[in-house]
Amino acid sequence: MNPLIDFPQNLHGSLAFDKIQPEHFLPALEHWITVSEQRQDAIVSNPELPTFENTIEALEFCTEELNLVSSCFFNLNSAETNAQIQEIARTFSPKLTAFSSQTLLNEPLFLRIKSVFEQDQSDLSGEQKRLLKETYEGYVRNGALLQGEDRERLKSLNEELSTLGLKFGEHVLGETQAFEYHCTDAAELKGLPQDDIDAAAEAARQKDKEGYLLGLDMPTYIAVMKYADSSVLRKHFYTAYASRGAGSNEFNNEQVVTDLVNLRLERAKLLGFDSHAALTLSKRMARTPETVMEFLDHLKGVAAPAAQKDLLEVSAFAEGEGAQLPLNAWDFSYWSEKLKKSKLSLDDQALKPYFKLENVLEGAFEVAGRLFGLKFVPQSDIPVYHSDVDAYEVYDADGEFLSLFYADFFPRDGKRAGAWMTSYRSMSTRNGQAIRPHISIVCNFTKPTATKPSLLTFNEVTTLFHEFGHALHGMMAQGTYPSLTGTSVYWDFVELPSQIMENWCYQPEALALFARHYETGEVLPQSYIDKIKESQTFLEGYMTLRQLNFGYLDLSWHARTEPFSGSVEAHEEMATKETSLFPSLAGTVTSTAFSHIFQGGYSAGYYSYKWAEVLDADAFERFEEEGIFNETVARDFAVVLSSGGTVAPDELYRNFRGRDPKVDALLKRAGIAA
């Protein structure tokens, strides 16, 4: 039996992770591609005139199982991969891409879609009209109007891009995992929190080594950059992290970046657009690269002077403590952390005991309960793909089952760095019956030890709430068609639900629900809460400029209208010179490990983090004005979360706020208003 073909009757239709093996994926993929093709053939050969039901709706559901299998595979390839899965991916991804291209370039199928699109739509619901519009435009944007050699070239480009994206990610993961820093003298680690030293000692023991072993996983990297007293050690880690994919080894991504950029440009031009950014942004709130550039430039005008001020403040403090100026890039986090401790009397290590992971997660659950009436129930009968993963049933205010929720919090071999939310199954409605979603959040927090639970930095607390906001967007979805529900929204709108949830981490009323000392049970003192609130503006000019730096770099690759050749490092230095506060270090390159834009879905879209910050600050201002747990405001925002892509994002936002968003609230919150 293949559990990805003969799906077991698990609770809530959950995937049989306890039975799924790598060798199941390719047979399941091929099976469901065949079934999907047969369903498409049935749509095309239907002798009846094309209608919304027999064409658009039938097409929407014809890949239901295929989507489930592919979601499972790609999620595991990110969270629990191994050499076998990575090898399978090299076949799996091109096969899936080829099927997608074949579907989007199926001319008889497109002619039926076009026929429905050109019919009178007055009898269709708003959701149906939106699905019809998105389907038709999606086909056109993916080459349905191409003919002959152009059509074949597009298929080839799609497959090449799919393969290159996988290769990029494998290289970044491979180089991250290959890094080890081994030492036997604890003095080298002076300044690091004891938790991190203990973890390094445990890592060494597990590999039968003396002393301490540190990797390049995100918690370790951040700890070294913030706390290690040795500038030499900080530089070593900074260089290793910032040069991933740019070294003279098998993990080099420079040619991969060049190929991805040029093939994306070729694909965009084939489809009638000047650039990959123009193609991508045509289905975003921003609409055009020019709008994005104006947006970035406007924020830069405010953020750059504020960032320079932040740098001068940190530099002056560091010099007063005996540091040599100018500061290097690997010194900034270290001295800014000390400045924060001095200026705000706020120390991440002093805060961590109040943020036990389990308590923070329960706090997120409680906030969701107070806002939206949700209840989370641990469920041990639902199979999971790793022992670190916990599964929950989620119920709404009426006690109706809403969603499955998986939580996967700790780093391990085979799991990529960072934090993300993902979906195994989207919400849909079939024959009047709601098919509820299966949602997961994946993070990389410090693992508990034999003597201590997992204690989060405040930044990790906001990360958890951020990803939980994405999860709420998926879990609370309502609608009929899976391509329009949950997080299936325009990319520069998708971060609103996640980023707005971070605001509750700064509110005393919310912190009181979960911020308590893991040993004594003491509630986080008000003095700490005041400092956390004050910290919202700490170095925000610097942080804003850093985000803009990534946005400009992304656009420099994807708004170009001519193919790229030459040095990736030189291009990057030129593209970011106006937003870089430190001189570049030879051999360090962001682009070669910039997974968001070269492996994830953020190509020509990294600006959307700041775009959504404008939305989230403006939207949360209404909560601040009327109450952070105000029932009316929460009910109105629940409509934003549950509607997904069934309503245009501009309309959703205006319905909630009563007007278009303004940048004022963001600048005020950041303390960098002009």
Q: Please report whether residue 275 resides in a domain.
A: no
pLDDT at 53 over 90: yes
Domain endpoint, select from 119, 145, 171: 145
Percent of the chain with pLDDT over 70: 100
Domain endpoint, select from 242, 259, 285: 242
Q: Residue 491: its pLDDT value, please?
A: 87
CATH of the domain at 69: 1.20.1050.40
Q: Please report whether residue 87 resides in a domain.
A: yes
Pull the structure tokens for residue 464. Answer: 């958890």
Q: Residue 565: its pLDDT value, please?
A: 97
H or E segment to which residue 429 belongs: strand 428-430
Q: Please report whether residue 256 resides in a domain.
A: no
H or E segment to which residue 442 belongs: strand 438-442
Regarding whether 511 and 365 lie in a shared domain, the answer is yes
When pLDDT is averaged across residues 100-126 and rounded to a whole number, the result is: 95
pLDDT at 674 over 70: no
Backbone angles phi and psi of 377, in degrees to 5: -120, 115
Split at pLDDT 50, 70, 90, the class of 346 is confident
How far is the CA of 338 from the CAs of 85, 226, 229, 346, 582, in angstroms? 43, 9, 11, 9, 19
Regarding whether 117 and 211 lie in a shared domain, the answer is no
CA distance 416 to 393: 26
616: closest CA among 503, 532, 511, 534? 503
Which amino acid is located at 390 in the chain?
Answer: D
Percent of the chain with pLDDT over 90: 93
Q: Please report whether residue 566 resides in a domain.
A: no
Q: Which residue has the tokens 């760095």?
A: 417
Helix runs in 442-516, H state only: 458-475, 496-502, 508-511
Q: Please report whether residue 204 resides in a domain.
A: yes
When pLDDT is averaged across residues 42-62 and rounded to a whole number, the result is: 98
Regarding whether 391 and 485 lie in a shared domain, the answer is yes
Q: Please report whether residue 343 resides in a domain.
A: no
CATH of the domain at 364: 1.10.1370.40
pLDDT tens per residue, range 217-251: 988 999 999 999 999 999 999 999 999 999 999 99
When pLDDT is averaged across residues 14-38 and rounded to a whole number, the result is: 98
442: closest CA among 99, 80, 22? 80
Q: Please report whether residue 543 resides in a domain.
A: no
Regarding whether 372 and 226 lie in a shared domain, the answer is no
How far is the CA of 411 from the CAs of 201, 474, 518, in angstroms? 16, 24, 22
How far is the CA of 95 from the CAs of 70, 74, 89, 101, in angstroms? 11, 13, 10, 10
Query: What pairs with residue 182 in β-bridges?
Result: 213
Q: Residue 345: its pLDDT value, please?
A: 85
Looking at per-residue confidence, does 532 or 4 come out higher? 4
Catalytic residue, candidates 159, 175, 467, 613: 467
The domain in which residue 15 lies consists of 11-104+106-145
User: With contact defined as beta carbons under 8 Å apart, do 151 and 144 qualify?
Assistant: no
Residue 406 CB neighbours (<10 A): 24
* Average predicted confidence (pLDDT) for the chain: 95
Residue 185 CB neighbours (<10 A): 9
Q: Residue 365: its pLDDT value, please?
A: 98
Regarding whether 210 and 68 lie in a shared domain, the answer is no
Regarding whether 135 and 196 lie in a shared domain, the answer is no
Q: Residue 123: its pLDDT value, please?
A: 96
CA distance 307 to 15: 47
pLDDT tens per residue, range 641-659: 999 999 999 999 999 999 9
How far is the CA of 584 from the CAs of 321, 576, 579, in angstroms? 25, 10, 12
Regarding whether 215 and 118 lie in a shared domain, the answer is no
Pull the structure tokens for residue 49. Answer: 């005139």
3-state secondary structure 58-78: HHHHCCHHHHHHHHHHHHHHH
pLDDT at 419 over 90: yes
Regarding whether 507 and 390 lie in a shared domain, the answer is yes
DSSP string, 209-252: -SSEEE--SHHHHHHHHHH-S-HHHHHHHHHHHHTTT-SSSTT-
Rg from Cα positions in the chain: 25
Regarding whether 130 and 228 lie in a shared domain, the answer is no
How far is the CA of 402 from the CAs of 53, 67, 540, in angstroms? 27, 20, 37
CA distance 664 to 298: 12
CA distance 470 to 477: 11
- Count of domains forming the chain: 3
Q: Which residues of 290-318 are buried (b: 16+ CB within 10 A; e: fewer)?
A: eebbebbeebbebbbebbeebbebbbebb
Regarding whether 134 and 29 lie in a shared domain, the answer is yes
Dmax over CA atoms of the chain, in Å, equals 83
How far is the CA of 443 from the CAs of 317, 391, 468, in angstroms? 33, 15, 11
End-to-end CA distance of the chain: 64
Lowest-pLDDT choice from 343-357, 464-478, 545-559: 343-357
Q: Please report whether residue 202 resides in a domain.
A: yes
pLDDT at 673 over 80: no
pLDDT tens per residue, range 428-447: 999 899 999 999 999 999 88
Regarding whether 131 and 31 lie in a shared domain, the answer is yes
When pLDDT is averaged across residues 384-389 and rounded to a whole number, the result is: 97
- Give yes or no: 467 in active site: yes
Q: Residue 137: its pLDDT value, please?
A: 94
Domain endpoint, select from 484, 506, 536: 536
How far is the CA of 322 from the CAs of 16, 341, 589, in angstroms? 58, 17, 30
pLDDT tens per residue, range 490-499: 988 999 999 9
Q: Residue 385: its pLDDT value, please?
A: 97
pLDDT at 205 over 90: yes
Regarding whether 52 and 191 lie in a shared domain, the answer is no
pLDDT tens per residue, range 250-273: 999 999 999 999 999 999 999 999
Q: Residue 450: its pLDDT value, please?
A: 85
